[in-house]
Each structure stands twice: as structure tokens, then as C-alpha cells.
Amino acid sequence: MSHALHLLDPVGDPKPNEECGVFGVWAPGEEVAKLTYYGLFALQHRGQESAGIGVSNGERIMVYKDMGLVSQVFDEPTLSSLTGHIAVGHDRYSTTGASVWKNAQPTYRATPNGGLALAHNGNLTNTPELQEWLLERDARAHVATKDSMDSTNDTWLVTALMASFAGTTWDAALQVLPRLRGAFCFTFMDSGALFAARDAQGVRPLVLGRLERGWVVASETAALDIVGATFIREVEPGELICIDSGGLRSARFAEANPKGCLFEYVYLARPDTIIAGRRVHSVRVEIGRTLAMEAPVDADLVIPTPESGIPSAIGYAEASGIPYGLGLVKNSYVGRTFIQPSQTIRQLGIRLKLNPIRDIIEGKRLIVVDDSIVRGNTQRALVKMLREAGAAEVHVRISSPPVEWPCFYGIDFATRAELIAPGMSVDDICRSVGADSLAYISLEGLVASSGVSKKRLCRACFDGQYPIPVPEGAAEKMRLIAQEGDDDD
């Protein structure tokens, strides 16, 4: 397939996109390509634009990647042709670089030792500095980079930098990794070993698992479950891991300063995944309980916006004593299709995604629990649809604080100017979406529900406090925008 994947957006208000998912396996005697396929399938929610797998048989590396979902890119003959005992895989949603084939991953680069294939989850913040470093290194080595610098993502840049060193992949990684800034979880391999690395802040999750005859690394524990791997531990922030015939070894390339992404708990991670020792589903239920205590309202029924609102709606119902019900049915396949809707269908808007069950909601005072509000278009259409289906009242409750700041670490939020929260009060937003009432969980309530210390979390999209320096000029521009907003109040 040479065409790009078009993500259907019938109401113009997509959820924050989940950057990428990475997977790696070292397992002699196993069908590592198929294990990687199923691991990527478990991580499909983290990226739906492209998918790829690289496999090594100890002598050479083969990489196959294309645009589309995992099930669209790979079939039985393709997987059967990818033979070896080491593999890395990638589900991509583009946060840097265009959504085109040349930016699909894993990226591959020839090296003095045979080759390197690398998959990346996250986003680097110092790519100009790294580009200059690469050009300097290639100039000294009399290597032309012009022809191959048509890829526009930071993953290619890291791959090229590691390939520019003449020593082992391990030594190259220990040269390059300390120079990287931003969020990154890597799985990569040469012909004989599997590697994994996580940035010093550990912004994005990365875990290590054990197979009966090998090892697995993955973005989420749910991917370990699907391939039958036992969870061992998280890859530590600032840690490099190598797995080969000699076993597993580890080294620190940076001092750990944990700042795990708080939004993983709200929306990004699968509910069956474990982060920092807690099941995400349990955290989201606790978020709902906290939301009910902070923002009570007299109503007849609590309903979620499927699927991400379900755990928090359960928690809200438990804490409030108000019955929980399934008032909306979701079409799980909308947003992951190559077919664009006709104008007639597009006018139906949110009904492409959700359809109300009139028998359940008619005449009821509803509490609708959702995970976030980005631009407000979805909530506006949802409130209207519920009223048309007979709801007496619609009270919206959001299981995250207002999203007011962009993310530079791998989540494709709208720009600050496009977000609804900056410059509008909660009452203003409530009127804009047409709800009878609107309330968000507090940042303090969300952090407490996570069970993780506030100082060990990245909360930048909620409070603008970026734990890793953002691109030059970006922070100042945002401060000016915020100041202008304050002057207008």
C-alpha cells in the first residue's frame, strides 16, 4: 500500500493521539515476527498510521513496513518470510514528520557491523542540535547524508547517529543516548542483539518481560500478556538494556529523574496495563470516585462516553450512589478507516462514532463522564444528541483537568490556540457545549488518584510546567499568549 491512512474525524474534535507503540523480542527458536505482530496488535491504540517489523537471523536484518493498521500491513506469507530470533516492531502515529511511508518505522541504517533497526516512542526536543552533530560526524567521515535526509522524523536522526560510530552498537548507544533531550523509549537491534532504552525522565512507559526461551520489551504490559511473557520490571529512566546470547546486561547513561506522563492514566494507556505498580483501570475508577466527591450533582443515571470514559463512570457511580448505565454504543472501527464519509454522512457527525440508546436515557437526568475536552466540538454534538434522544438534563463530568498546554513529548495535542480551555472559564465552556453543568477533576485530585507523587509526574499539558526544556522560543511564546489572556480578563 502506498497511500496514507486517513483518520476519520466526523466532528472535527479528535482525541489526543497516542504517539507510538514499540515492541522487541529476543527468543531463539520462536517465531519472533509473529510474536511481534501480536505485540503490536496489543499496542495498536498507540498508533494507527503505519506499522513495521524488523527481524534478524544473526547475519542480516530484514525490515518490512507500510502504511495502515497492523492487520492491514502484515499477512501470513509476509510474517513467515521474516525469519530469525530477534525482532523489533512499531505502531506509528506521527508527532514529528509527515504521515508518509518514508517515515514509517523501524528505521534501518547500515553500520560497520552490519546494520541497525530502531523503533521510537516519544518526541525529541533538541533535533536541531542533533542534526548539526550528525553533519559534523559525517563530514569528518566523508559520508554524504544529503540523499538520505529526506526522512523528517527524529527517529531516523537517532538511527543515523548511532550508525555513525565504528564501535559496537552498545558503545554507540552510550555515546548517543546522553546527548538526546525529550521523551524517548527505543527498541533497537543489530544482527546479534536486542536493545532497549528509556529517557532519564521516563516520560513514556517501557517494560521488560520474560518468555520461557527469551525476553520481551514493550510499551505496555498488555503487550507482554498477549504473547505470554511474564512482567519482570519497568525499564528504568536513563537505562540502556542489551539482550544477546550472553544474557541481559544493563547500564545507566543518565541519572534517573522520573516524570511519568500523567495523561497515560487518563487516556493513553490500555486499562489492562500496569504503570508504576498499579492497573490503569483501577486508577481510572479511583479518578471517577474522586470526581464524584469533587463535583457532585443530583441526577438519575451515570453514563460513560465509550470506551475511555467507562472506568471513571463506574467510579463516579460507586461514589455517588447514582446508578451506572450504558447509554451510548460506540462503533469501534470509526477513526481507523481508509474510507472518507460522504457529505450526507458527515453531517450526522458524532453518530458515526456514538449512538444513544433512547430506552435507557429518555426522561433521565444524565451525568456523562468523559476523559477530556480538547476543542469542545465532540461534547457539543454529544449533548445535542442526548437531548434529541430525550434526556431531561445533561451534566458533563471530565476525568482530567482542563488541557491548556501543548505536549512536546509525544502526544499530538492541538496547539494552544486551538484548545478550548485557555482563555475560557468552566462556565464559558459549559455554555459553549450546551450542558446543564460541567466540572473537571482537579489536578490535585487526579494526581492523588494516580497514587504517584506529584514530583514524579509530567503534568505539563495541565499546568504548563515542562520537566524537560522545550524547543527554543516555544515556552516564551506560550508565556506571552498566557499573559495576553490574563490582560484581557
Q: pLDDT tens for the chain, 489 residues: list them.
A: 333 333 334 344 545 544 689 999 999 999 999 999 999 999 998 988 889 999 999 999 999 999 888 999 999 999 999 999 999 999 977 544 444 556 688 999 998 778 999 999 988 989 899 999 999 987 765 554 444 444 446 889 999 999 999 889 999 999 999 999 999 999 999 999 999 999 999 999 999 999 999 999 999 999 999 999 999 999 999 999 999 999 999 999 999 999 999 999 998 899 999 999 999 999 999 999 999 999 999 999 999 999 889 999 999 999 999 999 999 998 876 554 444 556 666 556 677 788 999 999 999 999 999 999 988 888 999 999 999 999 999 999 999 999 999 888 988 765 777 788 988 999 999 999 999 999 999 999 999 999 999 999 999 999 999 999 886 665 544 444 444 433 332
Catalytic-residue membership of 242: no
| Rounded CA separation 307/114 (Å) | 45
pLDDT at 19: 65
The answer to whether 440 and 398 are in contact (CB under 8 A) is yes
| Rounded CA separation 386/371 (Å) | 18
Q: Which CATH superfamily is domain 20-258 in?
A: Aminohydrolase, N-terminal nucleophile (Ntn) domain (3.60.20.10)
235: cell is: 525499564
Sequence-separated (6 or more) residues with CB below 8 Å from residue 44: 21, 69, 70, 91
Quick one: CATH architecture of 280-451? 3-Layer(aba) Sandwich (3.40)
Task: Give the predicted TM-score (pTM) of the model.
Answer: 0.87
| Rounded CA separation 96/94 (Å) | 6
Identified catalytic residue from 20, 261, 407, 430? 20
Q: Measured in whole angstroms, how far is the alpha carbon of residue 118 from the centre of its chain?
A: 18
Spell out a b/e string for 456-477, using b for 16 or more CB atoms within 10 Å of the CB, else e. Answer: bbbbbbbebebbbebeeeeeee
For the chain, domain boundaries:
20-258, 280-451
Choose among 337, 327, 342, 331: nearest CA to 392. 327
pLDDT at 340: 52
